[in-house]
Amino acid sequence: GQQLNQSPQSMFIQEGEDVSMNCTSSSIFNTWLWYKQDPGEGPVLLIALYKAGELTSNGRLTAQFGITRKDSFLNISASIPSDVGIYFCAGLDQGAQKLVFGQGTRLTINP
Amino acid sequence: GAVVSQHPSWVICKSGTSVKIECRSLDFQATTMFWYRQFPKQSLMLMATSNEGSKATYEQGVEKDKFLINHASLTLSTLTVTSAHPEDSSFYICSANGLAGAGNEQFFGPGTRLTVL
Rounded-to-integer distance, Cα B56 and Cα A70, Å: 29
Q: Do B105 and A104 touch (CB under 8 A)?
A: no
Question: Chain A neighbours among B 74-103 (CB < 8 Å)?
Answer: 91, 93, 95, 97, 103
Contact at 8 Å (CB) between B103 and B97? no
- Check CB contact of A95 with chain B, cutoff 8 Å: no
Rounded-to-integer distance, Cα A53 and Cα A66, Å: 5
- Check CB contact of A24 with chain B, cutoff 8 Å: no
Segment B81-100 mean pLDDT: 89
Question: Chain B neighbours among A 3-22 (CB < 8 Å)?
Answer: none
Over chain A, what is the mean pLDDT? 93
> Looking at CA atoms only, how far is residue B28 from chain A in angstroms?
16
Mean pLDDT is lowest, of A1-10, A75-84, B10-19, B89-98, for: A1-10
Contact at 8 Å (CB) between B90 and B39? yes
Instruction: State residue A2's pLDDT score.
Output: 65
Indicate the residue of B49, B105, B110 with minimum beta-carbon distance to A42: B110
Rounded-to-integer distance, Cα B112 and Cα B96, Å: 15
Segment B46-66 mean pLDDT: 91
Contact at 8 Å (CB) between B31 and B95? no
Q: Within its chain, how far is the Cα of A50 from the centroid?
A: 14
Instruction: State residue B102's pLDDT score.
Output: 46
- Which is higher by pLDDT, A93 or A6? A6
Chain B contacts of A50, Cβ < 8 Å? 103-104
Rounded-to-integer distance, Cα B47 and Cα A110, Å: 36
Instruction: State residue B105's pLDDT score.
Output: 75
Segment A79-102 mean pLDDT: 90
Rounded-to-integer distance, Cα A102 and Cα B113, Å: 22
